[in-house]
């Protein structure tokens, strides 16, 4: 193989490297020059995360060879700042909330740097076009576009807002603590972990949906250059355990896989073998040498056929493909339907999607002196650690799991995957650290999917549109295994009534195994499907009763005085679903105002006159957030006054290091800038549940408040003894504790910590000396708060091509008290963008044999900056009475209502001449529909 | 997703490059911009034993304009042509088409000739070259031939290039001032691959359409000229009904494939729609009509 010695200038410094000529420029930067700010998001030139400047021009470093950079100058994200002083563009990104997880950020910064070097007086449209070759999954592009626009202008940048004092920290829209590091490419994602002797793994995956392995010959691969180890099922047969069912349920026929396929393949993408080599290139070379022979079996692919036809069983030991069945009834639906003025029956389908965070899954494991240390892209480090220890037969204490920076999660990174057993096992066997980074192609089948459901719905309405009865029997495509049991379809089952009064409700869900990638939660986890169902049905009802779609909603929304609202539905944990608080009418009214609902008919008529088809759609939602049962936090004050907050919840871009610090600053009485948050490390706190279901602000936020409050009380107790005053004579402001009436008598919290830490010249520390100035608290809560809101959208439909363009959209939501409005807004922008995407672009399809039709960003499309206009956004703050902070989660709400509203808007554009019963809606299908009724 | 092993050659003179092609034949792939080739290598969908990197061959870095037209060498990046001074006057159709290709980051690497030689059915440049009736120079060790764009594209991702041949440059004929032009395409997402697209060039003469050129691309087949629609338009006075008939003919004569992104029916119908829109814009630019909308 060809080797070369090359010389190049990187960020102004001369560099030399000995390389193989097949090395990509991206891998040269990351692996040879240790510049890990250049990220690999797709390795086929679509995501733009690896963009660098080559002789001043932006290029994809995954689509250039390192040898081609010989003698040339490269600029990476690490070269943009002047020392620690952010460039104007970087500072604008921080100002405008232009980043969340930070994984795509280096590529955007480089692309925008190149764009701005040529553009003056640029417009938003030009910026959006220029950025359309970079993908972001978190921000919905709003902050990024605004940042580039701000940087392009002549005016000085907005000054950093002065940081608020401790009081008022909750609710302040302050800059994120995470940003400075991430903007300079100094984030440390799992693939960036560098350890001496690190070896690299690659996984062989089957292309068949259902097949029996006849022969698996890996001998040549084991002997291939650079190969250190290779595992097939035969190599782990004596120790392999099936992945555990972490969320069992009585109505679930649980089936979980072994870490490697034992005998029968059950979905395309299932892992057959894993190889470890000196580098990833050699590992992939070895995979090419493994020979697999199969007896190909007929696969169960289509959801409904899989249910009907018990011949093609995904699991031979089950009588059919039913993975589970459950349901409930509130009131008497049969009776209520009989009494209804109008009964509508519909069949609605929801397509399958892949969450596609810009950072794929990755794991690095190191085993030394009997202790396993693992860095993992995990949304739930503590839960994962428990499963991992069980899989590897290790005591829990010997497994240390760290979730470093994570490039987006959205749900699937909460699960346990086969590689999380295999990679640590290989590190233990080899005595060398091992890293595995899922590549983009693998991510399409190896990371769990979401959403696919088919609903048979009956809605009974009174003459005035009042909902009398709702019945929904639906199917959920579980895929080949049941990694999270009934969670997603169960969430759907209790979310269909949404923000409306539904006096009689019957629901039954059948979960069906198919030979497809397993299904798991993805942003909204069952709720976007539920919203699609109820909102579609209300639109159909309005049409039938000749009511305005908004009017039928208004008549059925739960009223502010009805809270807490008892739905009588029973949740998965056997508690009643009770909506805590909200003002659904207010959200609806303000959304209509923002979108210009009342004037829209005039606007629509004018557009029609100009041969343009436009339409408007509105959808209301509630979304359960902050699922229990508990979350913890530890707060400690150091003698130098620094405050540390430890929490088990990992972050995937949500800014927890900022928001949890805000809560601590407020409750403890210290400056925000004195608080550092460490999260996602199992050594920092004993127990944790994880990051999902918009639960961190609710569960970890309240835990931090409790721990900070406890530290505060401890400090006051100690100071009361020192100053010989009553505790209520003391106050704490900005880290200083003083006697209210004699403020010259004061101490810093650091000094109190010093005193509580104890030293040999003391007789005894003041107050309660246990664990110094430090407290751990767990917030336990099984009364989740429900966020809510309304989304409205105006679209334009091209009559000939079927293309749908979002012209403008608005959302007014209520997530209770906002800890940091900028961070909340970022969550909403991103959630709405994902909603638009799964309505108009995304669908994960298979052919009849179960071969996936998407394996790249050419065939699975994510939205770019040119198709997501800036959302008009406003807030209603109804505090939740169910937790001390009064917060509700903000992470999922943005995604929940979007598909329903867009589909409604398309129908509206067509004057109600067609009924849309499926999401996604693609131009090709719409165009066919319109042509079928040429008169439209 | 790392490239498989290959031998790597990066000669500095054309003769050496052609010699290497002659020696290795099918076992060597030419690397110019690499924006398609490296994708295929990273996915290991191809495993060429050797790569011939032509980026250091000085003779191929050629971009010239003279009375004959515009001559673009094999290593000229799409962005270099895009930024060529005066391109909007020299060849307004190329100036309109180039920004549609990929993204500016890929145009900074991707070459004009590489896009032609790759012959992706959804690519803009093959369709533009077919419309402009470009001539392509193919060289081999000790010989060269010049082929018209009509002859060059054989099938999806297939051209008449022999394994030992290299497309060393493409010549776009001099622009006929007064011609109207337009490119229209539909993609699932802004700046994405065309589900279908149309390129139009109209030569006016005294209020009539003296000569029309209509090329449909993105059909799954190589880009194709719509000869029935063209000959119907040629020599006729411009009118709305003329346009409607041309659209109908484009729909009839377009051949299209179905794939996961679109059906052949969709592509044929939308090809007509886009042809109508492109013809109208081109007619306006050619001074044939002032009418400003067509469904």
- Both A279 and A402 in a single domain? yes
Residue A155 structural domain: 1-174
Chain-chain contact of A63 with B43 (C-beta, under 8 angstroms): no
8 A C-beta contact, residue B235 and residue B208? yes
8 A C-beta contact, residue A7 and residue A70? yes
List CB contacts of A493: < 8 A, sequence separation 6 or more.
A326, A327, A328, A507, A509, A526
pLDDT at A3 over 70: yes
Joined tokens for residue A452: 């696919």
Interface residue B105 vs chain A (CB under 8 A)? yes
- Both A706 and A776 in a single domain? yes
Q: How far is B276 from chain A (nearest CA, A)?
A: 11
pLDDT of residue A162: 62
- Domain membership of residue A191 (yes or no) is no
- Both A288 and A161 in a single domain? no
Interface residue B109 vs chain A (CB under 8 A)? yes
Q: How confident is the model at residue A246 (pLDDT cuts 50, 70, 90)?
A: confident
Q: How far is A4 from chain B (nearest CA, A)?
A: 10
Residue percentage of chain A with pLDDT more than 70? 98
- Domain membership of residue A797 (yes or no) is yes
- Both A524 and A593 in a single domain? yes
Assign A569 to helix, strand or coil.
strand
Chain-chain contact of B39 with A284 (C-beta, under 8 angstroms): no
Q: How confident is the model at residue A933 (pLDDT cuts 50, 70, 90)?
A: confident
Q: How far is B197 from chain A (nearest CA, A)?
A: 11
Cα–Cα distance measured from residue A709 to residue A707, given in angstroms and rounded to the nearest whole number: 5
Residue percentage of chain A with pLDDT more than 90? 93
Could you report the per-residue pLDDT of A440-459, keeping only the tens digit for each?
999 999 999 999 999 999 99
8 A C-beta contact, residue A42 and residue A62? yes
Give the other-Cβ count within 10 Å of A15's Cβ: 17
* Topology (CATH) of B58-173: 3.30.465
pLDDT at A934 over 70: no
**What is the mean predicted confidence (pLDDT) over A592-606?**
98
Tracing tokens 């959403």 back to the chain, one arrives at A451
- Both A662 and A730 in a single domain? yes
Interface residue B118 vs chain A (CB under 8 A)? no
The residue extents of the domains of chain B are 7-53, 58-173, 180-285
8 A C-beta contact, residue A123 and residue A145? no
Could you report the per-residue pLDDT of A532-552, keeping only the tens digit for each?
999 999 999 999 999 999 999
The CA R_g of chain B, rounded to the nearest whole Å, is 19
Tracing tokens 């009375």 back to the chain, one arrives at B67
The pairing of strands B28-31 and B50-53 is parallel
pLDDT at A936 over 60: no
Q: How confident is the model at residue A775 (pLDDT cuts 50, 70, 90)?
A: very high
pLDDT of residue A772: 87
Whole-Å CA distances, A868 to A524, A807, A844: 19, 9, 21
Joined tokens for residue A600: 């829209």
Joined tokens for residue A351: 């397509």
Chain-chain contact of B273 with A44 (C-beta, under 8 angstroms): no
**What is the mean predicted confidence (pLDDT) over A506-520?**
98
Could you report the per-residue pLDDT of A703-712, keeping only the tens digit for each?
999 999 999 9
**What is the mean predicted confidence (pLDDT) over B23-33?**
97
Could you report the per-residue pLDDT of A173-194, keeping only the tens digit for each?
999 999 999 999 999 999 999 9
Q: How far is A604 from chain B (nearest CA, A)?
A: 17
Mean pLDDT for chain B? 96
Cα–Cα distance measured from residue A427 to residue A406, given in angstroms and rounded to the nearest whole number: 22
Residues facing A727 on adjacent strands: none
Cβ-nearest to B189 among A54, A62, A867: A867
CATH code of the domain covering residue A769: 3.30.365.10
Q: How far is B187 from chain A (nearest CA, A)?
A: 9
Chain-chain contact of A63 with B38 (C-beta, under 8 angstroms): yes
- Domain membership of residue A194 (yes or no) is no
Nearest to B101 by CA among B84, B76, B126, B134: B126
**What is the mean predicted confidence (pLDDT) over A60-79?**
98
Q: Residues of A with CB below 8 A from B273's CB?
A: 800-801
Which ranges of A310-467 does DSSP label H, i.e. alpha helix?
333-338, 381-392, 419-430, 440-446
Give the other-Cβ count within 10 Å of A60's Cβ: 33
Q: How confident is the model at residue A757 (pLDDT cuts 50, 70, 90)?
A: confident
Looking at the structure of chain A, the number of domains it has is: 4
Q: How far is A167 from chain B (nearest CA, A)?
A: 46
Among the three residues A446, A473, A492, which one is the final residue of a domain in this structure? A446
CATH code of the domain covering residue A34: 3.10.20.30
8 A C-beta contact, residue A299 and residue A461? no
Joined tokens for residue A272: 């057959």
Q: How confident is the model at residue B280 (pLDDT cuts 50, 70, 90)?
A: very high
Angle at A808 between CA A804 and CA A814, to 5 degrees: 120
- Both A362 and A411 in a single domain? yes
Alpha-carbon A187 to chain mean position: 18
Q: How confident is the model at residue A528 (pLDDT cuts 50, 70, 90)?
A: very high
**What is the mean predicted confidence (pLDDT) over B239-260?**
96
Chain-chain contact of B104 with A115 (C-beta, under 8 angstroms): yes
List CB contacts of A528: < 8 A, sequence separation 6 or more.
A350, A451, A835, A838, A895, A896, A897, A898, A899
Could you report the per-residue pLDDT of A565-582, keeping only the tens digit for each?
999 999 999 999 999 999
Interface residue B290 vs chain A (CB under 8 A)? no
Could you report the per-residue pLDDT of A212-228, keeping only the tens digit for each?
999 999 999 999 999 99
- Both A438 and A460 in a single domain? no
Chain-chain contact of A924 with B261 (C-beta, under 8 angstroms): yes
pLDDT at A839 over 50: yes
Q: How confident is the model at residue A762 (pLDDT cuts 50, 70, 90)?
A: low
| Residue with the larger pLDDT of the pair A247 and A599 | A599
Suggest the residue from A801, A843, A936 to mutate for an interface test with chain B (most B CBs closer than 10 A): A801
pLDDT at A829 over 60: yes
Residues facing B148 on adjacent strands: B135
- Please provide the CATH number assigned to the domain covering B180-285: 3.30.390.50
**What is the mean predicted confidence (pLDDT) over A737-756?**
94
Cβ-nearest to A284 among B2, B38, B265: B2
pLDDT of residue B141: 95
- Both A664 and A768 in a single domain? yes
Cβ-nearest to A63 among B39, B51, B193: B39
Cα–Cα distance measured from residue B116 to residue A101, given in angstroms and rounded to the nearest whole number: 39
Residues facing A644 on adjacent strands: A636, A676
- Domain membership of residue A168 (yes or no) is yes
Whole-Å CA distances, B72 to A208, B121, B172: 46, 21, 8
- Both A124 and A221 in a single domain? no
- Both A406 and A474 in a single domain? no
For B7-53, CATH number out of 3.30.43.10, 3.40.50.1820, 3.20.20.70, 3.40.50.720 equals: 3.30.43.10
Find the distance separating the first CA and the last CA of chain A, reported in whole Å: 63
pLDDT of residue A935: 44
Could you report the per-residue pLDDT of A258-303, keeping only the tens digit for each?
999 999 999 999 999 999 999 999 999 999 999 999 999 999 999 9
Q: Residues of A with CB below 8 A from B4's CB?
A: 22, 284-285, 288
Could you report the per-residue pLDDT of A388-409, keeping only the tens digit for each?
999 999 999 999 999 999 999 9
**What is the mean predicted confidence (pLDDT) over A231-243?**
97
Joined tokens for residue B178: 């007064």
Cα–Cα distance measured from residue B196 to residue B258, given in angstroms and rounded to the nearest whole number: 11
DSSP chain B: --PPP-EEE--SSHHHHHHHHHHHGGGEEEESS-TTHHHHHHTTS---SEEEE-TT-GGG--EEEETTEEEEETT-BHHHHHTSTTHHHH-HHHHHHGGGSS-HHHHTT-BHHHHHHHT-TT-HHHHHHHHHT-EEEEEETTEEEEEEHHHHEEETTEES--TT-EEEEEEEEPP-TT-EEEEEEEESSTTS-EEEEEEEEEEEETTEEEEEEEEEE-SSSPPEE-HHHHHHHTTEEP-HHHHHHHHHHHHHH------SS--HHHHHHHHHHHHHHHHHHHHHHTTS-------
- Both A590 and A603 in a single domain? yes
Among the three residues A446, A469, A500, which one is the final residue of a domain in this structure? A446
List CB contacts of A361: < 8 A, sequence separation 6 or more.
A377, A412, A413, A417, A419, A438, A443, A446, A447
Chain-chain contact of B39 with A44 (C-beta, under 8 angstroms): yes
Q: How confident is the model at residue A417 (pLDDT cuts 50, 70, 90)?
A: very high
- Domain membership of residue A303 (yes or no) is no
Among the three residues A725, A745, A780, which one is the final residue of a domain in this structure? A780
- Both A408 and A557 in a single domain? no
pLDDT of residue B207: 87
Mean pLDDT for chain A? 95
Chain B residue at shortest CA distance from A284? B2
């Amino acid at each position: 193989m060809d080797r070369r010695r090359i010389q190049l200038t990187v960020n102004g410094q001369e560099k030399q490297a000995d390389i193989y000529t097949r090395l990509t420029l991206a891998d040269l930067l990351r692996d040879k020059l240790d510049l890990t700010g250049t990220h690999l998001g797709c390795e086929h030139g679509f995501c733009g995360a690896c963009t660098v400047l080559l002789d001043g021009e932006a290029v994809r470093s995954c689509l250039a060879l390192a040898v081609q950079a010989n003698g040339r100058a490269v600029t990476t994200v690490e070269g943009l700042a002047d020392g620690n002083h952010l460039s104007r563009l970087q500072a604008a990104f921080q100002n405008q909330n232009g980043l969340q997880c930070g994984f795509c950020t280096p590529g955007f910064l480089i692309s925008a740097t190149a764009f701005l070097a040529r553009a003056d007086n640029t417009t938003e449209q030009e910026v959006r076009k220029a950025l359309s070759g970079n993908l972001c999954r978190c921000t919905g592009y709003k902050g990024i576009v605004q940042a580039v626009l701000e940087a392009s202008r002549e005016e000085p940048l907005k000054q950093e807002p002065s940081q608020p004092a401790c009081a008022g920290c909750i609710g302040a829209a302050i800059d994120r603590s995470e940003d400075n590091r991430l903007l300079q490419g100094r984030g440390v994602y799992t693939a960036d972990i560098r350890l001496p002797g690190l070896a690299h793994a690659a996984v062989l995956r089957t292309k068949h949906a259902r097949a029996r392995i006849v022969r698996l010959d890996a001998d040549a691969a084991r002997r291939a250059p650079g190969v250190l180890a290779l595992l097939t099922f035969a190599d782990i047969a004596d120790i392999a355990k099936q992945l555990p069912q972490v969320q069992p349920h009585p109505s679930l026929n649980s089936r979980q896989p072994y870490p490697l396929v034992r005998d029968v393949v059950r979905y395309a993408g299932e892992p057959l073998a894993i190889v470890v080599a000196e580098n990833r290139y050699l590992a992939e070379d070895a995979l090419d040498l493994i020979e697999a022979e199969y007896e190909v079996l007929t696969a169960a692919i289509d959801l409904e056929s899989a249910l009907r036809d018990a011949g093609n069983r995904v699991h031979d030991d089950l009588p059919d493909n039913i993975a589970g069945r459950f349901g409930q009834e509130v009131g008497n639906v049969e009776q209520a339907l009989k009494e209804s003025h109008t009964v509508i029956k519909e069949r609605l389908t929801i397509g399958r999607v892949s969450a596609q965070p810009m950072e794929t899954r990755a794991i690095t494991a190191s085993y030394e002196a009997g202790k396993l240390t693992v860095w993992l892209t995990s949304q739930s480090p503590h839960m994962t650690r428990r499963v991992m220890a069980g899989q590897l037969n290790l005591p829990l204490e010997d497994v240390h799991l760290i979730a470093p920076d994570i490039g987006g999660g959205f749900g699937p990174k909460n699960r346990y995957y086969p590689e999380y057993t295999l990679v640590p096992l290989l590190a233990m066997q080899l005595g060398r650290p091992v890293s595995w980074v899922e590549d983009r192609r693998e991510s399409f089948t190896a990371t769990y999917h979401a959403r696919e459901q088919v609903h048979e719905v009956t809605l009974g309405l009174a003459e005035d549109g009042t909902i009398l009865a709702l019945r929904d029997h639906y199917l959920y495509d579980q895929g080949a295994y049941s990694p999270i049991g009934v969670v997603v379809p169960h969430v759907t089952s209790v979310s269909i009534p949404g923000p409306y009064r539904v006096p009689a409700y019957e629901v039954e869900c059948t979960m069906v195994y198919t030979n497809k990638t397993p299904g798991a939660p993805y942003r909204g986890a069952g709720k976007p499907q539920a919203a699609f169902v109820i909102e579609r049905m209300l639109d159909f009802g309005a049409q039938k009763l000749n009511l305005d779609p908004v009017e039928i909603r208004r008549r059925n929304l739960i009223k502010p005085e009805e809270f807490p609202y008892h739905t009588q539905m029973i949740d998965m944990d056997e508690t009643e679903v009770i909506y805590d608080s909200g003002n659904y009418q207010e959200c609806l009214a303000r959304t209509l105002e923002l979108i210009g609902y009342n004037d829209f008919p005039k606007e629509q008529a004018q557009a029609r006159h100009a041969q343009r088809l436009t339409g408007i759609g509105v959808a209301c939602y509630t979304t359960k957030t902050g699922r229990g049962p508990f979350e913890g936090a530890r707060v400690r004050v150091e003698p130098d006054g620094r405050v540390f907050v430890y929490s088990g919840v990992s972050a995937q871009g949500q800014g927890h290091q900022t928001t949890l610090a805000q809560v601590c600053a407020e409750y403890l009485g210290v400056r925000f800038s004195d608080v550092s948050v460490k999260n996602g490390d199992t050594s920092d706190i004993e127990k944790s549940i994880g990051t999902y279901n918009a639960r961190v602000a609710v569960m970890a936020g309240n835990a931090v408040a409790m721990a900070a409050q406890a530290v505060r009380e401890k400090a006051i107790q100690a100071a009361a003894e020192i100053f010989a005053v009553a505790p209520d004579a003391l106050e704490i402001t900005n880290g200083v504790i003083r006697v209210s009436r004699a403020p010259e008598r004061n101490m810093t919290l650091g000094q109190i910590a010093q005193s509580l830490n104890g030293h040999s010249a003391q007789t005894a520390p003041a107050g309660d000396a246990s664990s110094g100035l430090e407290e751990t608290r767990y917030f336990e809560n099984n009364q989740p708060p429900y966020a809510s809101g309304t989304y409205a959208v105006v679209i334009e439909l091209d009559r000939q091509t079927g293309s749908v363009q979002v012209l403008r959209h608005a959302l007014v939501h209520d997530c209770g008290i906002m800890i940091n409005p900028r961070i909340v807004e970022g969550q909403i922008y991103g959630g709405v963008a994902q909603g638009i995407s799964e309505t108009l672009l995304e669908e994960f399809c298979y052919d009849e044999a179960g071969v996936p039709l998407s394996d790249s960003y050419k065939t699975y499309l994510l939205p770019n900056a040119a198709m997501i206009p800036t959302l008009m956004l406003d807030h209603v703050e109804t505090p939740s009475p169910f937790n001390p902070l009064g917060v509700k989660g903000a992470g999922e709400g943005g995604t929940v209502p979007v598909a329903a509203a867009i589909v409604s808007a398309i129908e509206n554009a067509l004057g109600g001449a067609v009924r849309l019963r499926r999401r996604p809606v693609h131009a090709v299908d719409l165009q066919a529909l319109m042509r079928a009724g040429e008169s439209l | 997703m790392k490239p498989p092993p290959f031998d790597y050659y990066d000669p500095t003179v054309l003769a050496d490059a052609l010699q290497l092609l002659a020696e290795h034949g099918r076992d060597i792939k030419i690397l110019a911009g690499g924006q398609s080739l490296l994708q295929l290598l990273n996915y290991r969908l191809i495993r060429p034993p050797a790569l011939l990197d032509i980026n250091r061959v000085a003779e191929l870095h050629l971009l010239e304009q003279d009375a004959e037209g515009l001559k673009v060498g094999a290593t000229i990046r799409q962005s270099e042509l895009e930024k060529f001074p005066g391109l909007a006057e020299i060849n307004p159709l190329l100036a309109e088409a180039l920004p549609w290709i990929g993204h500016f980051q890929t145009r900074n690497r991707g070459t004009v000739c590489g896009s032609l030689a790759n012959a992706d059915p959804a690519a803009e440049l093959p369709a533009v070259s077919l419309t402009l009736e470009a001539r392509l120079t193919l060289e081999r060790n000790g010989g060269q031939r010049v082929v018209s764009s009509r002859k060059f594209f054989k099938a999806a991702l297939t051209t008449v290039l022999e394994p030992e041949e290299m497309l060393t440059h493409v010549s776009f004929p001099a622009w006929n001032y007064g011609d109207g032009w337009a490119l229209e395409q539909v993609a699932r997402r802004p700046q994405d691959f065309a589900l279908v697209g149309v390129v139009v060039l109209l030569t006016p003469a005294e209020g009539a359409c003296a000569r029309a050129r209509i090329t449909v691309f993105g059909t799954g087949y190589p880009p194709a000229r719509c000869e029935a629609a063209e000959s119907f338009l040629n020599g006729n006075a411009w009118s709305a009904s003329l346009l409607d008939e041309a659209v109908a003919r484009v729909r009839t004569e377009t051949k299209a494939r179905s794939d996961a992104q679109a059906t052949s029916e969709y592509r044929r119908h939308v090809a007509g729609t886009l042809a109508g829109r492109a013809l109208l814009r081109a007619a306006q630019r050619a001074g044939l009509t002032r009418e400003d909308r067509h469904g």
